Amino acid sequence: MEITITQDQGSVQVMHLQGKLDGSNYQSLIEEARKLYSAGARNVILDLSQLTYISSAGISALHRVALLFRGQKQEAQEEEGWASYHAIANDRGGGVQQHVKLLSPPANIHHSLEIVGFDTFFEIYNNLDVAVASFQ
């Protein structure tokens, strides 16, 4: 997976994900998000338009990015596997994410997001300008 980062209208960072997000690279998404957060970013859009596949590890990575941008401390030993799904299930009732939005997931990725309930956990947009404006 390739990650590129752009800044849109000053306060919103856009992480463009290209390729497959799976067990071989999900930690790079988390690490790049940590770098952004440490540098002061507080609102991020994950552009999924060029993502071709997402695995359970990728789903877990999206959740961790949401936790990070909510300012929640991450455990030193981050949850893996089924434990992360338990955490996701518990967190879904917490409402829609305010600081992380998803952009243009392809149909297969959108379907995976729906299966785990992320279509109610994240706001999903098909237009970058509308996604950016949603942070106002």
Domains parsed from the chain with CATH numbers? 2-133 (3.30.750.24)
DSSP-assigned letter for residue 99: S
At 48 the three-state DSSP class reads: strand
Question: Residue 68: is it exposed, middle or buried by C-beta count within 10 angstroms (0-12/13-18/19+)?
Answer: buried
Question: How do the pLDDT tens digits run along the chain, 136 residues long?
Answer: 999 999 866 689 999 999 999 999 999 999 999 999 999 999 999 999 999 999 999 999 999 999 999 887 655 444 454 445 445 555 655 678 899 999 999 999 999 999 988 998 999 999 999 999 999 8
Q: Which helix (H) or strand (E) holds 33?
A: helix 26-38
